[in-house]
Structure 1
Amino acid sequence: MQKLSNGAFQLSKSRGANGYVIPLGETYAVIDPGMKSGAQAVIAELTGAGMLGTVSHILLTHYDIDHAGAALALATETGAQLWIGRADADILTGRRPAGTFSRRITSSIGRPKLPETVYYLGESPGFPADITALPTPGHTPGHHAFVWGSSVFSGDAVMVNPDGTLKQFPRLLITDKAQALDSTAVLEALDVRWVCPGHGKVTARR
């Protein structure tokens, strides 16, 4: 586990996507623990860091399997609340179809499973006061970024260039291009120092 310059931690054992840990006083929030195949490695990593017993929240930027696949196992192990955008939760539970043909094909291969009790970003009470859940739809309809102090954890809303400027994912991976562009503008306007993306390096904005 790597401690970042912003005071958060980046998981070393999450598979498929970058996973992060945010300190919340006496507890921790885990953002995007990665693929199901890496769940036990993430649990072991958190155990080794002395954090597992105090993980209180699991925050999902979106429903993709490389970000959310390990969430159920981690929630079961820790009893932590799992938070996700309602639109993305509805896709995982089959109440809403994925928005594009390519995403429907991907969803048919495998969908992350959710615990029986799910907390909806922007709706349910009890979200950590130190973190802002920012709706950033486009990549998926329920995508959220998380702002904490001088950092934004951007998931797959954007990719980040070496100079800290933001760019879009390839069109094939975007559900709604117009929404994605709007979300990029929202993220560009944030007064933050660090961009912590779902893929690629944590980058300082210049």
Structure 2
Amino acid sequence: MHELPNEAFQLDNSRGANGYVIPLDRGFAVVDPGMKSGARAVVAEVAGAGLTGAVTDVLLTHYDVDHAGAALAVAAENGAKLWIGRADADILAGRRSPGTFARRVLSSMGRPKLPGIVHFLGETEGFPEEIRAVPTPGHTPGHFAFVWRQTVFSGDAAMVRADGTLRQFPALLITDKAQALASTAVLEDLDVQWICPGHGRPVQR
């Protein structure tokens, strides 16, 4: 992993999507560790940085396999809590259907697995005090972004241009366009200097 100018870290070995590591007062939080096929490499990367057992929380912006596939392995290896929005957890557990035909097709190809105990963003107590979980539905119904210091880890709530402005993902990947547009407005109103997206480079606003 390498340190970013905002003092967070980006995983070098996460596959599919950008994975990040946030230093906390007591431990570390991993955000979106990527696909299951990269889980072993991410676990080894965390160990190589001397952080095995120091990762206290795994935070998922949303349920997509390229963000959440490695989460179970990373959480289990570190004895960490796994956090996800309830609506997205319900989709992974089969209690709720993905909202569009395209997403139902994608889900039929495999869904990330969750541990027996799941912590729900915005509901379960014990979330890291240094981080604020911000509901940003639209891409998925239970999507969250995470604000830490002057940075937002935005997942797939929006795509980020090089100048820090935001644009929507292709319609095929959006569950609810009205919610997605509203969530983009929420991100634009945040008082932050850095955007660390799920795809593409971190950008200073």
What is the TM-score of this pair, normalised by structure 1?
A: 0.99
Q: Is the 8 A contact 2:30 2:55 kept in 1?
A: yes
Partner of 1:50: 50
Partner of 1:132: 132
How far apart are the structure 1 equivalents of 2:52 and 2:170?
35
How far apart are the structure 2 equivalents of 1:73 and 1:9?
19
Partner of 1:22: 22
Q: What is the DSSP-based 3-state SS (H/G/I as helix, E as strand, rest coil) of the residue aligned with 1:58?
A: strand
Shift of 1:26: 3.0
The reply on whether 1:94 has 2:57 as its aligned counterpart is no
CA RMSD between the two structures: 0.5
Q: What is the DSSP-based 3-state SS (H/G/I as helix, E as strand, rest coil) of the residue aligned with 1:154?
A: strand
- Deviation track 1:24-51 (CA, whole Å, cap 9, x = no partner) reads 0230000000000000100010001011
Q: What is the DSSP-based 3-state SS (H/G/I as helix, E as strand, rest coil) of the residue aligned with 2:13?
A: coil
Unmatched 5+ residue regions in structure 2? Answer: none
- Deviation track 1:85-144 (CA, whole Å, cap 9, x = no partner) reads 000000000000000000000001100000000000000000000000000000000000
Alignment of 1:64-79 (within 5 A): 64-79=64-79
- Identity percentage over the alignment? 71
Equivalenced residues, count: 205
How far apart are the structure 1 equivalents of 2:146 and 2:105?
28
How far apart are the structure 1 equivalents of 2:174 and 2:52?
34
What is the TM-score of this pair, normalised by structure 2?
A: 0.99
Partner of 1:38: 38
How far apart are the structure 1 equivalents of 2:123 and 2:38?
29
Alignment of 1:53-202 (within 5 A): 53-202=53-202
